[in-house]
Amino acid sequence: MAKTVLVTGASAGIGKATAIYLAQNGYNVYGAARRTEKMQDLKNYSIKPIALDVTKEGSITACIEQIFTEAGNIDILVNNAGFGSSGAVEDVPMDDARYQLEVNVFGAMRLTQLVLPKMRQNKYGKIINISSIGGKIAFPLSGWYHASKFAIEALSDTLRMEVKPFGIDVIGIEPGGIRSEWAAIANEHMMRISGNTIYKEIAANAEKATANMNLPEPIVIAKLIKKSIEARNPKTRYAGGFGAKQILAARKIVSDKLMDKIIMSQMKG
């Protein structure tokens, strides 16, 4: 029987591309997001759109219960829902910081908690956590986003060891730059938060540096996710997208202070 997959954040970008690609390759796919109106076209691929707000317990439990009722279980969870809240650490309101962690971390982990019992019962499961190269390296004006992805990296490591004895794999996906609405939203937020503060110069330069990048399409990551799901002995992490492998390799060998200088050199007008 076809494996049942839940892909969160399926209304755009990596989530939407992943839902479509997996459905085209024989998986029984549920695509979940708040913006259900942006998922109606997924029905053309036999994907079942489902409403999900990962910051609301009732929405999370209703989503999981609906899939369990209809499909019996969830074999693969792709924790993709997330966004980037940019702005200097000093400027970002604490409510915004909490919401960033609520969406990117706590929502993903609550979904994970709810799918694990059936996966354990079936002695099979895949938890795919969409992290980022920003879970290994931090850039200025994205501190809370990086905090959320560093957290996902740590939780993935812990989970992987905890659930491996039950036949469940936990896999981290670390995208670099990918063509999507993500960067535009993050930049808009950054300029609104820090565009008129003491950090306005670095904010303007950061916006300029990311405005016209030639980035690959999200299908690059969708293919990486499928590869990780189908690997007999999956890696703990897969990286792809613009600059991902090069940046992660540099991070392993370059000192913190030298990396700071390299990053900040790109933030000058």
Active site residues: 11, 131, 145, 149
Query: Which residues touch 177 (CB under 8 Å, ≥6 apart)?
Result: 183, 213, 215, 216, 241, 242, 243, 244
Which amino acid, one-letter code, is at 29?
Answer: V
CA 99, CA 147: separation in Å to the nearest integer? 12
Residue (of 72, 61, 82) closest to 28 by Cα position: 72
Q: Is 5 exposed, middle or buried (0-12, 13-18, 19+ CB in 10 A)?
A: buried
CB atoms within 10 A of CB 225: 26
Tokens 């000058």 sit on residue: 268
**Dihedral (CA of 158, 259, 253, 248) sign:** positive
**Dihedral (CA of 243, 169, 75, 153) sign:** negative
